[in-house]
Structure 1
Amino acid sequence: MNSFIFVAKFCLFSLVTCGIPAQKIYNERWSLKDSPPPHQEKAKTARYLVHATLWAVVATTSTLKEIAGRPFSNVFSFCDGPIGNGTGIPYFYVTELDISMQDVMTNPIVSFTLSEMETQYCGDQDFDPEDPRCARLTLSGKMVNVTNSEERAFALASLFKRHPVMKYWPSSHDFHVTKLEIDMIWLLDYFGGGSVVPLEDYFAANM
């Protein structure tokens, strides 16, 4: 009985001090197999999320006549570079036939939201998508065309590597590369509320 009480007290202590379950050791290899960074490392966590996921929800200001001026959300595939060489910049392969891109042509300001539930980590821990320990990230900024030839080649190669089917999308749709010029980063990755991550910390995060 005494041993049971000790175990119960230890588990309660672990809940309060470490969270359940305790963080796996993060070894800074930045492979998609790695566990997430410690929740205290906000900038690194944000970079991890952008690199470890492949799709997000992008919100625009709608130009549909039925809901003109209201928020409109849509799923976008993206990547920030090849595995192990992430830039923190989301790149997209888009067509102006997409209703969201028609919104962007009128107002390029968007919000970009993703969840750690997309990785294996939250499922392995039995976290609900709204559990604060299953991190969620919103990037806000301007979606713009990638016009620099070197950057465009890098982005296109990365997108085709991580989304191979994109290579076969119809050329008649005039797909092209865009990116998010980030101006605000909001992260929730633990109890206690969200955090605004400074841009300089985000881009300086050690990968």
Structure 2
Amino acid sequence: MSGERIGAALAEVEAHVVDSGQNADEAFGDPVEYARSLGLTPEPEQSRAATLKAVAPTLIQLFGLIAVIATVPWSADAVGVTTTLLTGLAVAALLPVVVVALGDRVLRAIVERPVVVFGVTMLGLGALAAGLVAAGRLGLDRTVVELPRPATALIGLVALAIGTWMAVRAGAAEPDVVSSPVPGSRLPRPGVRHWVWTALPIPAATLLLAVLLWLI
């Protein structure tokens, strides 16, 4: 739902609570069940297609991460595009689909435990990248095609830059805040730096993993 429609629903709850003297739990029960009972239809801006479009920058960043990590350490002229690497790319491509499919549960986890979700995301990215490198070194996959290492690194860095720019641009847009229909009661806007949490984690993880792999 849009922030405006959420605010309108909350305003109705607040008005009833003020008039009746009941608390919200007594009057309306479980908030999740009450929200679902309203039967509100999703708006285009909050549709699954719009959500997939919104996570496109992250998908591009993940591609850049894998491409950059594949070139570390800088010990050969070519990078083999292996079955393991292609599998990693396929997994990265499916992540947005999984997130959108889970919908409510993912959003609720982000809202209630943002630090945990951030940590799990970073661990997952690290495990994916480390698994790809380990499989390659153990000879568990086969090379499909070879690409020049500088070109592969450049492609990865360009993908990271494009994905980060898209994420920063999207994060800098007017946020969809929860607003009340009562004049002057709009909630404070989120800080202008809130895009940092969506735009920078993957580039930071890429740098960290590249350094660790170089040292190993």
TM-score, structure 1 length as denominator? 0.28
Please state which structure has a larger fraction of its residues in helix.
2
Q: Which has the higher contact order (CA 8 A, sep 6+)?
A: 2
Please state which structure has a larger fraction of its residues in strand.
1
Larger Rg: 2
